[in-house]
Amino acid sequence: MDAKPKSKPKFTGAGTHIAESQRPTILVEADTQAGHHRETRRARQAAVVEDYVEMIADLIEKTGEARGVDISRHLGVTNATVNKMINRLQQNGLVTSEPYRSIFLTEEGQRIAEWSRRRHEVVLAFLQTIGVSEETARADAEGMEHHVSDETLEAFKRVIGEQNV
């Protein structure tokens, strides 16, 4: 007996077919969706701020100064992008600088840099503790450090045996 499907199967690209009627509904209420997107954009912007202040702190620590050209080279962005971000960081009270001079962190900028660096170190140590290669752990930690909740970070610390970090 040949039974004809009620809906045409769709190829998902993963080697399986899912009937239209079996596909989960992904459209959610507009305000909820917009809220999720706003939060994602905010988190992305915060991650960029953290990357910049951490890089500025690293450059100052290693070379004695942080110049826009060095930030550009290390982060893989254009000088124009760095200049826009430095202006934004100045407006937010995280750095001080003058044209063609080094960039310095304010107390708040230094606090954020240290906080971000510590999160990065914990995530990196955790990944290596569970057997991730150093190269992969370094790459993964760079993205994860910004998106790990405080609760998860504390669990990572327990796994790697750190206290009060």
Q: What is the mean pLDDT of the chain?
A: 85
pLDDT in tens, 137-155: 999 998 898 888 899 999 9
pLDDT in tens, 17-36: 566 666 666 777 888 778 77
Average pLDDT (33-61) is: 86
Q: In this model, does residue 39 exceed pLDDT 80?
A: no
Return the CATH class of domain 109-160: mainly alpha
pLDDT in tens, 98-128: 878 899 999 999 999 999 999 999 999 999 9
Average pLDDT (70-74) is: 97
Q: Domain locations in the chain?
A: 32-106, 109-160
pLDDT in the model for residue 36: 74
- Number of residues in the chain: 165
Q: In this model, does residue 3 exceed pLDDT 60?
A: no
Instruction: Specify the pTM.
Output: 0.71
Return the CATH class of domain 32-106: mainly alpha
Q: In this model, does residue 165 exceed pLDDT 50?
A: no
Question: Which three-class secondary structure state does DSSP give residue 162?
Answer: coil
DSSP track, the chain: --PPPSS-EEE-SSS-EEEGGGSPP----HHHHHHHHHHHHHHHHHHHHHHHHHHHHHHHHHHS---HHHHHHHHT--HHHHHHHHHHHHHTTSEEE-TTS-EEE-HHHHHHHHHHHHHHHHHHHHHHHTT--HHHHHHHHHHHTTT--HHHHHHHHHHHT----
